[in-house]
Amino acid sequence: MKYASIANRLDTAAAYAWAIHDKARKRQLNGEDIILLSVGDPDFETPQAITQAAIDSLKAGRTHYGFFAGEPALRQAIADRHAEFTGQIVSVDQVVICPGAQNALYAVALCLVEPGDEVLVPEPRYVTYESVVDAAGATRIDVPLDVDRGFHLDPAKLEAAVTDRTRMILLNTPHNPTGMVMTREELDGVAQVALRHDLWVVCDEVYADLTFDVPHTSVCSLPQIADRSVSLGSLSKSHAMQGWRIGWVIAPPDLAQHLVNLVKPMHYGLSPFLQDAAVVALTEQHPETEAMHREYRERRDLVCSRINAMPGLACSWPEGSMFLLVDVRGTGLDGENFAWGLLDHGGVSLLPGTGFGASVTGHVRFSLTMPIAVLADACDRIERYARSLESLSASA
């Protein structure tokens, strides 16, 4: 039977980037002692007040169809939050609710680019960006991040990649997988490129609430590109609500209306009771989220200190997000072989850098999504494996 061209476009290496995670999860289910650090699925529970709000809404009968663009109260809460954070006016008409930021990005790409267009993406990049651009039929152009500057973006390199087919710049800050947080100056540089070449700027900001040393600056903070900037957000990481699938787009009103037209045949709106809980997440204080942030910093400090003391391994200290990249080239292996060897000989699952781009094939991504004690155990196992590779190299 014949399939549509999109099926072939999506059947790429990126579609299999989580193969090691799937294998590790099966081995864990079969009773093996496996530590899963290969996916960004935090161990924290959703704050109780949010869960209770969903229960109360369910009991109140909020189980019917909702508004296509999202419930008015949630859209207002998101608009108010961004207005307070960015200092810019954000109206309800600019907000569209989606089942997670991943779906939000997919919908935005379908509305902004098409076959023949090019999308500039800083690399390394999150794994699914490749499939999103491919699904829209556009061509992804990787723009290398500056490894020597902590994986920060040089806007001059971005501009050098622009052609007459470029339509969109896709950013991610705080960044997955490197933990880099873009500065205001860097974003201003990107804005100037977008203005000179009439480009859209789409920014994945799902880790906006998780920074350590550099404050997050939203693309919505840049008034000079208000007519061409798009922010993607989510509650998955900030409030440990990954399974709730609550994400959003903040876009110029015309684009927001196109997105509403697209979500009608795509998902027809989200469950009202989930959105009622999301309002509580955004409008009330939750001590659990403060504790999560402190814990992530402790986890980062522990893991970075341990990794940088191991033979053949090195990592930069992430400025935000819940990930860090570990350079394993000093062991004599690339990221793929190191990760699979570590799973087989150490029982720790890390994600090879292959799926994030050519520049980090010698790296693995370490997810800070387990308690301190478990991460310490994982570091012990990684160190034993690294030392075993050192011994093999010395005896060769």
Q: Where in the chain is the domain with CATH 3.40.640.10?
A: 49-283
Average pLDDT, the chain: 95
CA distance 329 to 337: 11
Residue 13: Cβ-neighbour burial (10 angstroms; 0-12, 13-18, 19+): exposed
Q: How confident is the model at residue 5 (pLDDT cuts 50, 70, 90)?
A: confident
Q: How confident is the model at residue 393 (pLDDT cuts 50, 70, 90)?
A: low
pLDDT at 15: 72
pLDDT digits (tens, 9 = 90+) for 92-143: 999 999 999 999 999 999 999 999 999 999 999 999 999 999 999 999 999 9
pLDDT digits (tens, 9 = 90+) for 315-340: 989 999 999 999 999 999 999 999 99
pLDDT at 396: 58
pLDDT at 395: 62
CA distance 172 to 175: 5
Q: Which residues pair with 295 in a beta bridge?
A: none
Q: What percentage of residues in the chain have a pLDDT greater than 70?
A: 99
pLDDT digits (tens, 9 = 90+) for 170-200: 999 999 999 999 999 999 999 999 999 999 9
Strands 200-204 and 247-250, sheet pairing: unpaired
pTM above 0.75, yes or no: yes
Q: Which residue has the tokens 């800083």?
A: 122
- Write out the CATH class of domain 5-45+287-390: alpha beta
Strands 323-327 and 314-315, sheet pairing: antiparallel
The two tokens of residue 251 are 């876009």
Q: Which residue has the tokens 């990005």?
A: 105
Give the lowest-confidence range in 6-15, 282-291, 345-354: 6-15
Q: Where in the chain is the domain with CATH 3.90.1150.10?
A: 5-45+287-390
Q: What percentage of residues in the chain have a pLDDT greater than 90?
A: 92
pLDDT digits (tens, 9 = 90+) for 48-81: 999 999 999 999 999 999 999 999 999 999 999 9
Q: How confident is the model at residue 12 (pLDDT cuts 50, 70, 90)?
A: confident
Mean pLDDT, residues 389-394 taken together: 75
pLDDT at 301 over 90: yes
pLDDT at 7 over 90: no
Per CATH, the number for 49-283 is 3.40.640.10
